[in-house]
């Protein structure tokens, strides 16, 4: 049995995590952390869209500010637009890049990837249902080591968390203890009894 495969790149805070279309949920969490670590406003660009310098005309109306009037702060925030898009571009394989070729903002890139890999809301709900079933039916496989089993389990839990369905520590521990083979039963019983006392 082969160990669960994750993103090949690692150990660099200067380079965005690479995404080739597999393990989207794992990459999504890593990429979100990476973008937040680059600048405090970077994640806002992804969630809210490009920063556009504006000037108030009156109490209820504002217009885009001409570039010649941009302040240093405006320029810094506008630069975040390009940086966010560059980081996403550098993180994607050729196939994933082609998927977002027509996107003009980092938010559009992120939303397009999310829609493609997570689906729209009813597809997401179906994925949650499938994930819950995987969690409920999870068992240690014959010939599998504890590390291999736990790696598979963690993949399911992380995928569910990225879909906004989180399991508590107690739920995860109980599930792991229930899925262990019969030879582990004495240890499971001992652990359960020690928790109760």
Residue identified by tokens 């005309």 is: 57
169, part of any domain = yes
Domain final residue, candidates 68, 92, 118: 118
What range does the domain containing 177 cover? 121-196
Please give the torsion angle defined by the CA atoms of residues 64, 70, 75 and 77, in that order, rounded to the nearest 10 degrees. -50
7 falls within a domain: no
Neighbours of 117 (CB within 10 A): 18
Whether residue 133 sits in one domain with residue 167? yes
- Profile the chain (197 residues) by mean pLDDT over runs of 10 residues: 48 82 86 92 93 80 88 93 94 93 94 84 79 90 86 88 84 84 67 58
With respect to residue 18, please indicate whether it lies within any of the assigned structural domains.
Answer: no
Are residue 97 and residue 142 in the same domain, yes or no? Answer: no
In-domain check, residue 40? yes
Question: What SS3 state is found at 176?
Answer: helix
Enter the DSSP assignment of 65.
P
180 with 127, same domain? yes
In a domain, 151, yes or no: yes
Total domain count, the chain? 2
Report the alpha-carbon distance of residue 144 to residue 147 in Å, rounded.
8
How far apart are the C-alpha atoms of 150 and 164, rounded to whole Å? Answer: 21
Q: Which two tokens stand for residue 120?
A: 């729209």
How far is the C-alpha of 95 from the C-alpha of 92, rounded, in Å?
A: 8
Q: Are residues 175 and 139 in the same domain?
A: yes
């Amino acid at each position: 049995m082969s160990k669960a495969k994750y993103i090949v790149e690692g150990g660099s805070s200067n380079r965005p995590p690479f995404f080739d279309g597999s393990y989207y949920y794992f990459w999504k969490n890593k990429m979100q952390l990476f973008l937040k670590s680059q600048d405090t406003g970077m994640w806002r660009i992804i969630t809210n869209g490009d920063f556009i310098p504006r000037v108030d005309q009156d109490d209820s109306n504002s217009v885009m500010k001409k570039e010649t009037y941009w302040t240093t702060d405006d320029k810094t925030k506008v630069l975040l637009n390009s940086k966010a898009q560059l980081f996403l571009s550098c993180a994607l394989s050729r196939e994933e890049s082609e998927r977002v070729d027509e996107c003009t903002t980092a938010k559009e890139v992120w939303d397009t990837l999310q829609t493609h890999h997570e689906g729209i809301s009813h597809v997401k709900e179906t994925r949650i249902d499938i994930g819950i079933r995987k969690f409920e039916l999870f068992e240690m496989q014959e010939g599998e080591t504890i590390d291999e089993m736990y790696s598979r389990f963690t993949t399911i839990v992380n995928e569910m968390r990225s879909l906004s369905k989180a399991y508590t520590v107690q739920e995860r521990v109980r599930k792991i203890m229930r899925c262990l083979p019969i030879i582990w039963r004495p240890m499971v019983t001992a652990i359960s009894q020690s928790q109760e006392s």
